[in-house]
Amino acid sequence: MKSLYEILGVAKDATRGAIRGAYKSKCQRLHPDKNGGEHSEEFLEVSEAYAILADAAKRKHYDETGENPGQHSEPTETEKARSYILGAMVAAIQKIDDLEHNDMINVVRQMIAQARDKARAELGKQTNLQDKYRKAAKRVSSVDDNFVSAALEVEAGKIQSKIISITKDLKMVERALEMLEHFSYSHTKLESLWPTNTSTTAGAGFYHSTGD
């Protein structure tokens, strides 16, 4: 198992600046928006490694114990995906009266696909905002204490936790869509009565909790 330093490709005694530089370089290559989600797992690993190593207290804890904070407390991605599918199915059944003529699995698939698309858009938005903060921070100079630049870097750091959370949820939703491929629903006709312009989703606004 790779260490967090190996994931970022830096030495154990790397400075915070070196860690940030390595993170930005890898993000440019692995970001889901640039490769259709092909490297989403690697992107998540890099983001999590940076979140820990860029925080002095978390890095000290990791160096001393080798443990990632909270790494044993979360349900697995598959467990989350199962719960998400069940939540979407419950919401769909509550929404639709005609269960005989609707393909309810397809309805759930549409709902979760909407959630995936919204999460991808939010991930791009937050990543762009983080980049803007960092670019602005680099352009601010001062002959004295450059508190403006420092504050902008702090804001960019805050967004990192949002990016990690959204990326995790995006992976879970993509896993749910994969799992749905193994299910079918018996109905009397193929035409779905589910309104195509609906914005209703079952727990699909998960990413709002990271930004609101």
- Domain boundaries defined on the chain: 1-73, 76-206
Q: Which of 121, 98, 124, 107 is nearest to 202 (CA)?
A: 107
User: How far out from the chain centre does Cα 120 lie?
Assistant: 8
pLDDT band at 73 (very low <50, low <70, confident <90, very high): low
Q: Which residue has the tokens 């930005």?
A: 24
Q: Which of 19, 25, 27 is nearest to 62 (CA)?
A: 19
Q: For 111-162, how does the pLDDT look when each residue is reduced to its tens digit (9 = 90+)?
A: 999 999 999 999 999 999 999 998 999 999 999 889 999 899 888 888 888 8
> Cα(105)–Cα(179) distance, rounded to whole angstroms?
11
Token code pair at residue 164: 């990690």
Task: Please provide the DSSP assignment of the chain as one string.
Answer: ---HHHHHT--TT--HHHHHHHHHHHHHHH-HHHHTTTTHHHHHHHHHHHHHHTSHHHHHHHHHH---TTTTTSPPHHHHHHHHHHHHHHHHHHH-S--SSS-HHHHHHHHHHHHHHHHHHHHHHHHHHHHHHHHHHHH---SS--HHHHHHHHHHHHHHHHHHHHHHHHHHHHHHHHHHTT-----S-S---S-TT----SSTTTTHHHH-
pLDDT value at residue 209: 39
Mean pLDDT value across residues 193-204: 47
CB atoms within 10 A of CB 143: 5
Token code pair at residue 193: 């009565």
Q: Measure Cα distances from 48 to 25, 44, 163 in Å.
A: 15, 6, 10
Q: Which residue has the tokens 């199962």?
A: 82
CB atoms within 10 A of CB 89: 19
CB 206 within 8 Å of CB 170: no
Superfamily classification of domain 1-73? DnaJ domain (1.10.287.110)
Q: For 75-88, how does the pLDDT look when each residue is reduced to its tens digit (9 = 90+)?
A: 788 888 999 999 99
pLDDT value at residue 160: 84
Q: Which residue has the tokens 């960092």?
A: 134
